Chain A
Amino acid sequence: MNPVEVRALSKTFVTKEGPLFRKSPKTLVAVDDISFNVPKGEIFGLLGPNGAGKTTTIKMLCTLITPTSGDALVGGFSVAKDQQKVRENLGVMLTGERTLYWKLTGRENLEYFAALYHLDPSFAKKRIEELLALMGLKDRENTLVENYSTGMRIRLSFTKALLNDAPVLLFDEPTASLDPQSSRLIRDTIHSLKQEGHAILLTTHNMEEADLLSDRVAIIDHGKIVALDSPTQLKEKVKSSDVIEIEARNISDQTAKTLESFSEVSKVAISSIDGSDDKGLLRVHVQKGKEVLPKILEFLVRKEVTITKVAFIEPTLEDVFISQTGRSLRD
């Protein structure tokens, strides 16, 4: 049996929306019939844009949210029926830096959670020492968390997930808003945990991270898994097309749509650069790219698009996402 087995898991939220006294129920399918396994010693990435259902999946696996249908087994225990046992088998890092007590020191936070995980006090003491040293927090262990930098708080939150040395580890966006150095430290640690035989599930909307870390990636969109394989295999599937990346100003959705209607073009995705309304990035999946490029550029110039950069690029997981959904991960 695999440490994580997800079987036809679904979650539907019903919210009430509208003005007071005239609220009507609205149904949102957050996770839609997903299935996958994570064996021992594997890093499994859930990649998708914000709102795709990644965090809801993690929260169902760690018993914070009850599935609407389906089930998942963690360490052989059902998340719907054996919640206490599931929690004993899990180390979880949820996203965000407010997952710690800011009025406690780093060490006090770890000691508190070690007691909630029923760790043997002598083991907890040793483990906390090791982890603080590993994550570069030893010299600030007695500083209140409110005086930590964002990077230190996220590292401490990550450390907390490792306290009970659980066989299954869930990391929700483990390197979000981290500087490159801290990100590398966390990625290296995740790799070591894999070598030790932990089953690791991580969510990310960062395609480079999913590519770098994961043995297998499930691409999730609107609650559904749209592709699942190793990063290499997934990219292989889109290699039959050329990928042209065009950085430009004044690109409209309409222009991108018209471009997609060209017979040589299979997919076009548009995303903004640095949140700018004006500056955009087009990724065009096309057959025989070198032959079609002049036609594409001529069309864009005619549409008064100001082109600043054009490049042929190696397909990434983002292109896998575009080929499956027609949208960019950065949307």
Chain B
Amino acid sequence: MNTISGPRAVAGALAAIFWKGIKHYTRYPGNFLLYLVIPFLFTSLIFGMGQFVGGGNAALNFAARTGTQNVLVYEVLGSAVWMVSWVVVEDVGVALRDEQMKGTLEQNFLAPVSRVTLLIGLSLTDIVITAGIFFIVVGVTVAVTLPAAFASLLEAYLALLVGLIPLFGIGFLFAGFVVRFKEPYVFTQIVNLLFATLTGTYYPVTLLPYWVQLLSRTLPQTYVIDDMRKIVLANQTLVSLYGSVFILLALAVAYPTLGYAIFKHIEKRAGVTGEFSKY
């Protein structure tokens, strides 16, 4: 037989898609630099606003409302999770459109590889890239400003890894919208900016109006950011945060299931309208 099947075939396809993504990243290296500096740039912005506009009591008010005086770690954790969320939602959401613009989407869809393998494969590269960048950004920040908490980072990273799964589900959802409506960045940028507002990236979610908090509680980033801050800044453990871990696991089932179902529906429709070959 010239072909393979079962898990070996799926693993082979996933590895090929992953390495193709890595090769593209290394041949367009600008994104690495961008992802490395984004969390620091946004943190500087927030820090500057607090320092120069917040007045003399800014630091005290910050500590009273967040429970920590370490502004840098608090904000870098929020920014870094937001950056990971941005990259995952945008890259997964835009991956198919990106292939469409290159002219290679139909070539991928012609192969007998399943759509879910294709979507997960396209996402795998981003998991590794963004997780790697996140580890560097957060690791360096904590090592320099809060060395005592460095050992707790492993648990903080675990919280992020659990939170990545529902984020990919949101990415699948956007992958469908993008195939249908094109204009990928309209969707992903609006949503990503909304995420920064709703998920406690720069301030505690508890300061938001109650009805907004309800919305925040449907988003995985809210739990990831909160858990990571509690682990790194308040000496809590992931086990003690079992309630939010459980919710993250539930979201890890719900979002990918919903996202993939909507993607499949839109994909089926695209076959009828001939959408795949449209630019």
By a beta-carbon cutoff of 8 Å, the part of chain A in contact with chain B is 13-14, 56, 59, 62-66, 68, 84, 87-88, 90, 92, 94, 96, 98-104, 108, 111-121, 123, 127, 144, 160, 164-165
B240 at the interface (CB under 8 A from A): no
B144 at the interface (CB under 8 A from A): no
Q: Which of B103-111, B179-187, B246-254 contacts A (4 or more CB under 8 A)?
A: B103-111
Question: With a CB–CB cut-off of 8 A, which chain B residues contact A84?
Answer: 112, 114
Q: Are A101 and B277 in contact (CB under 8 A)?
A: no
Chain B residue, CB-CB nearest to A12: B272
Question: With a CB–CB cut-off of 8 A, which chain A residues contact B114?
Answer: 84
Q: Are B13 and A118 in contact (CB under 8 A)?
A: yes
Q: Which of B16-24, B54-62, B160-168 contacts A (4 or more CB under 8 A)?
A: B16-24
B149 at the interface (CB under 8 A from A): no
Question: With a CB–CB cut-off of 8 A, which chain A residues contact B12?
Answer: 115, 118, 121
Question: With a CB–CB cut-off of 8 A, which chain A residues contact B113?
Answer: 116-118
Say how far B204's CB is from chain A's closest CB, in angstroms: 43
B31 at the interface (CB under 8 A from A): no
| A118 touching B9 in the complex, CB below 8 Å, given contacts A59-B277, A99-B107 | yes
Bound-state CA distance A112–B109 (Å) is 13
Say how far A302's CB is from chain B's closest CB, in angstroms: 49
Say how far A90's CB is from chain B's closest CB, in angstroms: 7
Question: With a CB–CB cut-off of 8 A, which chain B residues contact A115?
Answer: 12-13, 15-17
B3 at the interface (CB under 8 A from A): yes
Q: Are A98 and B109 in contact (CB under 8 A)?
A: no
- Listed residue (B27, B108, B118, B276) with the most chain A CB atoms within 10 angstroms of its CB: B27
Q: A13-B274, A104-B23 are in contact. List 10 more A-B contacts (CB 8 A).
A: A62-B110, A63-B109, A63-B271, A66-B268, A114-B16, A115-B13, A116-B108, A117-B112, A117-B113, A164-B2
| A87 touching B111 in the complex, CB below 8 Å, given contacts A118-B5, A119-B2 | yes
Q: Are B27 and A90 in contact (CB under 8 A)?
A: no
Bound-state CA distance A160–B24 (Å) is 20
Which 3 residue pairs spanning A and B have beta carbons closest together? A98-B103, A115-B16, A116-B111
Chain A residue, CB-CB nearest to B27: A103
Bound-state CA distance A13–B24 (Å) is 35
Binary A-proximity of B12-52 (CB < 8 A = 1, otherwise 0): 11011100100110011000000000000000000000000
B1 at the interface (CB under 8 A from A): yes
| A112 touching B103 in the complex, CB below 8 Å, given contacts A13-B273, A120-B4 | no
- Listed residue (B5, B17, B109, B110) with the most chain A CB atoms within 10 angstroms of its CB: B110
Chain A residue, CB-CB nearest to B15: A115
Q: Are A64 and B112 in contact (CB under 8 A)?
A: no
Q: Are A66 and B2 in contact (CB under 8 A)?
A: no
Question: With a CB–CB cut-off of 8 A, which chain A residues contact B3?
Answer: 88, 117-120, 164
Q: Are A66 and B271 in contact (CB under 8 A)?
A: yes
CB proximity to A under 8 Å, residues B79-136: 102-104, 106-114, 118
Chain A residue, CB-CB nearest to B114: A84
Bound-state CA distance A92–B107 (Å) is 9
Question: With a CB–CB cut-off of 8 A, which chain A residues contact B2?
Answer: 119-120, 123, 127, 164-165
Say how far A184's CB is from chain B's closest CB, in angstroms: 25
Bound-state CA distance A192–B223 (Å) is 61
Number of residues of chain B lying within 8 A (CB) of chain A: 36
Question: With a CB–CB cut-off of 8 A, which chain B residues contact A114?
Answer: 16
Say how far B21's CB is from chain A's closest CB, in angstroms: 10
| A96 touching B103 in the complex, CB below 8 Å, given contacts A64-B109, A64-B110, A103-B24 | yes
26 sample A-B contacts, Cβ–Cβ < 8 Å, listed by A number = A64-B109, A64-B271, A65-B271, A65-B274, A68-B272, A94-B106, A96-B103, A99-B104, A99-B106, A99-B107, A100-B107, A101-B20, A101-B102, A101-B104, A103-B27, A104-B23, A108-B20, A112-B17, A115-B13, A115-B17, A116-B113, A117-B111, A118-B3, A118-B12, A118-B113, A164-B2
Chain B residue, CB-CB nearest to A66: B271
Q: Are A100 and B110 in contact (CB under 8 A)?
A: no
Bound-state CA distance A165–B118 (Å) is 22
| A104 touching B107 in the complex, CB below 8 Å, given contacts A59-B274, A59-B277, A120-B1 | no
Bound-state CA distance A117–B103 (Å) is 18
Chain B residue, CB-CB nearest to A117: B111
Bound-state CA distance A73–B17 (Å) is 30
Q: Are B273 and A88 in contact (CB under 8 A)?
A: no
Question: With a CB–CB cut-off of 8 A, which chain B residues contact A56?
Answer: 274
Question: With a CB–CB cut-off of 8 A, which chain A residues contact B274?
Answer: 13, 56, 59, 64-65
Bound-state CA distance A100–B103 (Å) is 7
Question: With a CB–CB cut-off of 8 A, which chain A residues contact B1?
Answer: 120
Question: With a CB–CB cut-off of 8 A, which chain B residues contact A123?
Answer: 2
Say how far B129's CB is from chain A's closest CB, in angstroms: 16
Chain A residue, CB-CB nearest to B274: A65
Q: Are B112 and A88 in contact (CB under 8 A)?
A: yes
Chain A residue, CB-CB nearest to B110: A92
Bound-state CA distance A279–B211 (Å) is 72
Question: With a CB–CB cut-off of 8 A, which chain B residues contact A104?
Answer: 20, 23-24
Say how far A235's CB is from chain B's closest CB, in angstroms: 34
Q: Are B4 and A111 in contact (CB under 8 A)?
A: no
Say how far B116's CB is from chain A's closest CB, in angstroms: 12
- Listed residue (A94, A118, A127) with the most chain B CB atoms within 10 angstroms of its CB: A118
Q: Are B104 and A116 in contact (CB under 8 A)?
A: no
Q: Are B24 and A116 in contact (CB under 8 A)?
A: no
Bound-state CA distance A82–B19 (Å) is 30
Q: Are A112 and B16 in contact (CB under 8 A)?
A: yes
Q: Are A100 and B104 in contact (CB under 8 A)?
A: yes
| A108 touching B23 in the complex, CB below 8 Å, given contacts A59-B274, A90-B110 | yes
